């Protein structure tokens, strides 16, 4: 029986576990908060009611006696016509210092409404008794005011009006003010009593709430620890697996755990890992094929331009009767394209690359006889080494078109090749116009694959093509360095390692 219960508990999903935690903690805490809010709301309502009553009472405590006595005094001495009170308050004077004489009847009616209706009362309390006294005084005061207003219209009644003002009006206004003061006192006492009751309720509630809070927090802590451990352990494992996968371990896979939600993540992660590994391999191969096709296309973009110019030169020489030079240039052109095609192979020997460069330079020598001179010096020890085809020709062409051709009086291109440990090094040196520091800096950025202002032009196209090709075939074993000075010349140094794709059997 116990094993069955443990097994069922073991199969609880994360949602069910969190629901239990929520039930154990949230419901009691919500009840506590609702109790506190209800207690605060009751106190707030009682406090607001007392404050509203005090506000009404204070308004009359300050102005009622003064305004009533002043209005009836002006009526008594005959300075105003009491019949004008029918239109409301009376304004004495026409300047900015004019005095407003309040309508006594309206004042009494307003006070009766405020104390009889607006102010909330609890029958039998001291405050209720004082309100009843105020209302009674207002009734008597209304009778006295009406008698004075009636006397004001009858000559010879000043003495009676003076007695009413002195004995009734002033006396009743003082009594009303005393009642208001006493009412205010009792309301303040009620507020003090309310505060004591609140403090007592708060103390009792706090003790009960603290006991409940300790129980809830203890239960919540135990449950949250259990749930957290059941979740964090597989999640940490999944995180570590993802980190290893992100670092390149494409064979790693996530483990399965008891928590079904984690198992869903693990299965999804494993499926995703399989697809990513497959896609990465596929993308890597596609990118390599695409890059090879792009570089081959760039390479072919050079050949037609060179072919057109060479054929034009052959036609020009034939028309001039220079048959020997026509034969030489045609033979060199044949050798040049034989190396370019080379049976579709990407690799040729250093000797074949040297022959390719020599054919290219012999053709260009015929075209630019007055401005071009060259020298090729390749060590015999490296002539049988296999290198990437078309490694030097774009660099030599760049030296001719951007170095020698733009220099007044022409110049010389020197090609050297030699071994350096496990590497082969080629140097293409020209004494052309060279480059300033800013142009050299931008060219180096372009060769590193960074954004350069030379991107918008054609500068360094041949060098960039070579740099990308040898980096793709040789990786970190390859390196191209450039040194140049304005009006002195340029040196391009190419260092090659062993190509991972080189296969001499294909030659």
Cα–Cα distance, 111 to 107 (Å, whole number): 6
Q: Which residues contact 173 (CB under 8 A, 6 or more apart)?
A: 64, 65, 68, 69, 141
Q: Report residue 195 as tokens.
A: 């505060």
Average pLDDT of the residues in 354-364: 86
Q: What is the CA radius of gyration of the chain?
A: 54
Give the tens place of pLDDT for each residue, 365-423: 887 878 889 999 999 999 999 988 888 888 988 888 888 888 887 889 999 999 988 89
Give the tens place of pLDDT for each residue, 293-325: 555 645 554 556 566 666 666 666 676 666 676
pLDDT bucket at 455, cuts 50 / 70 / 90 = low
* Residues linked to residue 495 through DSSP beta bridges, in sequence order: 425, 479
What fold does the segment set 280-506 form as a domain?
A: Heat Shock Protein 90 (3.30.565)
Average pLDDT of the residues in 256-282: 80
Q: What is the CATH number of domain 2-229?
A: 1.20.120.30
pLDDT of residue 320: 64
pLDDT of residue 9: 39
Look at 68-82, 108-122, 489-503 and tell me which has the smallest mean pLDDT.
Answer: 489-503
Average pLDDT of the residues in 91-113: 81
Q: How far is CA 129 from the centre of its chain?
A: 67
Residue 386 has phi, psi (to 5 degrees) of -95, 130
Q: Report residue 161 as tokens.
A: 């009006």
In the chain, CATH 1.20.120.30 covers 2-229
In the chain, CATH 3.30.565.10 covers 280-506
pLDDT at 70 over 50: yes
């Amino acid at each position: 029986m116990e094993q069955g219960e443990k097994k069922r508990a073991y199969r609880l999903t994360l949602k069910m576990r969190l629901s239990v935690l929520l039930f154990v903690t949230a419901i009691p805490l919500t009840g506590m908060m609702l109790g506190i809010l209800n207690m605060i709301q009751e106190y707030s309502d009682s406090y607001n009611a007392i404050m509203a009553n005090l506000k009404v009472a204070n308004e009359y405590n300050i102005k009622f006696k003064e305004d009533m006595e002043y209005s009836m005094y002006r009526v008594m001495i005959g300075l105003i016509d009491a019949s004008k009170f029918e239109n409301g308050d009376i304004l004495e004077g026409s300047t900015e210092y004019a005095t407003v004489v309040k309508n006594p009847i309206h004042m009494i009616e307003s006070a009766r409404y405020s104390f009889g209706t607006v102010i909330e009362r609890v029958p039998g309390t001291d405050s209720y008794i004082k309100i009843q006294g105020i209302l009674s005084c207002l009734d008597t005061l209304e009778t006295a005011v009406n008698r004075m207003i009636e006397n004001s219209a009858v000559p010879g009644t000043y003495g009676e009006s003076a007695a009413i003002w002195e004995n009734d009006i002033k006396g009743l206004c003082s009594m009303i003010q005393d009642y208001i003061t006493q009412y205010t006192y009792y309301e303040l006492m009620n507020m003090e009593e309310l505060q004591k009751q609140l403090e007592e309720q708060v103390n009792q509630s706090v003790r009960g709430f603290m006991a409940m809070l300790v129980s809830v927090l203890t239960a919540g802590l135990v449950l949250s620890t259990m749930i957290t451990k059941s979740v964090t352990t597989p999640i940490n494992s999944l995180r570590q697996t993802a980190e290893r996968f992100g670092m390149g371990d494409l064979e790693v896979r996530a483990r399965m755990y008891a928590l079904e939600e984690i198992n869903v993540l693990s299965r999804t992660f494993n499926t995703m890992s399989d697809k990513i590994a497959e896609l990465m391999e596929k993308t890597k191969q596609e990118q390599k094929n695409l890059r090879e096709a792009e570089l081959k296309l760039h390479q072919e973009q050079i050949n037609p331009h060179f072919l057109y110019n060479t054929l034009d030169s052959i036609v020009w020489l034939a028309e001039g009767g220079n048959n020997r030079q026509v034969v030489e240039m045609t033979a060199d052109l044949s050798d040049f394209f034989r190396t370019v095609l080379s049976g579709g192979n990407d690799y040729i020997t250093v000797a074949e690359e040297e022959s390719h460069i020599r054919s290219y330079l012999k053709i260009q020598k015929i075209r630019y006889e007055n401005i071009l001179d060259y020298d090729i010096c390749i060590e015999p020890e490296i002539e049988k080494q296999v290198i990437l085809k078309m490694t030097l020709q774009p660099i030599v062409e760049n030296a001719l078109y951007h170095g020698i051709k733009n220099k007044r009086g022409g110049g010389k291109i020197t090609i050297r090749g030699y071994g350096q440990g496990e590497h082969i090094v080629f140097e293409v040196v020209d004494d052309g116009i060279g480059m300033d520091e800013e142009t050299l800096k931008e060219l180096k950025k372009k060769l590193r694959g960074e954004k350069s202002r030379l991107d918008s032009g054609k500068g360094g196209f041949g060098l960039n093509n070579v740099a990308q090709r040898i980096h793709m075939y040789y990786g970190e074993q390859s390196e191209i360095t450039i040194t140049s000075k304005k009006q002195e010349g340029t040196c391009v140094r190419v260092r090659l390692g062993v190509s991972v794709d080189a296969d001499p059997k294909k030659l």
